[in-house]
Amino acid sequence: MLADLMDMDLDQAILDRHSVRQYTERKIEGDTLRKLQEEIDEINSESGMDIRLFLDEPRAFSGFMLKATTGFKNAVNYFSIIGPESDTLSMDAGYYGERLVLFAQKLGLNTCWAMMANRKDVSGTMKEGYRNVINISVGYGENQGKPHKSKPIEKFGEMDGAPEWFVKGVECAMLAPTGLNKQGFRFERDGGRVRIVSGGSTLSQIDAGIARFHFEYGAGKENFSWMD
């Protein structure tokens, strides 16, 4: 089964990936762990982030209120999405975190973005000027989660007369996970340039970064450029 999932392309990973909060006790190890760490190292090298993987560490998801309100179970493995403080850190956390989430899906793992998880455990080991934006649980799920309803495509951008690459980008972004499934983002286009518009909160910016990764993949980087 794992071998089949390893051949899954990113298109399929985007379709299959849903939030999963309940995990089995199966450990992340061997070739799967090696590939996961290699991807983390590559992302950190490319981006300047300091994303880390914690294994068999229950404290981030152990709070009574967290379990009671979110339903996490056996969430003892997680990514800490850490990066250098900047105006774009929250969006960067969403962008690179989603890249890692989809890679994990291709390895047969399940994930869940967790804004409420305890982020204090790593605070004493971070570089000066770095911040832990959010944690993402990862492991072998008891189930594969389930999809959520999406807003109509017209809510995400002007579709009349839009080029095919823009439509494909928006369609891919519609599959992006967002906090409380709010999908509070929109794309504006000026010729071959695109801007993503969202709220100003940390969560909104994380969501925008996740949607940005999806849009970029769906539209194709060669077809457009981002506006500041």
CA proximity to 202, closest of 144, 116, 76: 116
Across-strand partners of 186? 197
Per the prediction, the chain carries an average pLDDT of 91
Q: Where are the alpha helices (DSSP H) in the chain?
A: 2-6, 10-16, 30-47, 64-70, 89-106, 164-173, 202-219
- Mean pLDDT for 91-116 is 96
- With bands split at pLDDT 50, 70 and 90, how would you rate the model's confidence at 9? confident
Q: What is the pLDDT of residues 40-84, one digit of tens each?
A: 999 999 999 999 999 999 888 876 555 555 689 999 999 999 999
CA distances in angstroms from 189 to 38, 69, 141, 185, listed in the order given:
35, 39, 38, 14
> Which pair of structure tokens corresponds to residue 210?
């996740």
Contact 129, 157 (CB under 8 A): no
Q: What is the pLDDT of residue 10?
A: 93
> Which pair of structure tokens corresponds to residue 74?
């056996």
Q: What is the pLDDT of residue 141?
A: 98
- Mean pLDDT for 219-227 is 97
> Which pair of structure tokens corresponds to residue 170?
């928006």
Q: If one looks up domain 153-223 in CATH, what number appears?
A: 3.40.109.30
Determine the Cα–Cα distance for residues 156 and 185; give it in Å rounded to an integer. Answer: 7
Which residue type sits at 121?
Answer: D
Q: Do domains 2-139 and 153-223 have the same CATH topology?
A: yes
Determine the Cα–Cα distance for residues 44 and 41; give it in Å rounded to an integer. Answer: 5
**What DSSP state is assigned to residue 175?**
T
Q: What is the pLDDT of residues 165-198, one digit of tens each?
A: 999 999 999 999 999 889 999 999 999 999 999 9
Using a 10 angstrom Cβ sphere, with 0-12 exposed, 13-18 middle and 19 or more buried, the burial of residue 10 is middle
Residue boundaries of the structural domains of the chain: 2-139, 153-223
Q: 0.75 cut: is pTM over it?
A: yes
Across-strand partners of 131? 83
Q: What is the pLDDT of residue 58?
A: 87
Contact 196, 212 (CB under 8 A): yes
CA proximity to 112, closest of 68, 150, 74, 57: 74
State which CATH number among 3.30.1490.70, 3.40.50.2300, 3.40.109.10, 3.30.70.1400 fits the domain covering 2-139. 3.40.109.10
Neighbours of 193 (CB within 10 A): 12
CA distances in angstroms from 147 to 56, 70, 112, 144, 178, listed in the order given:
28, 17, 13, 10, 12
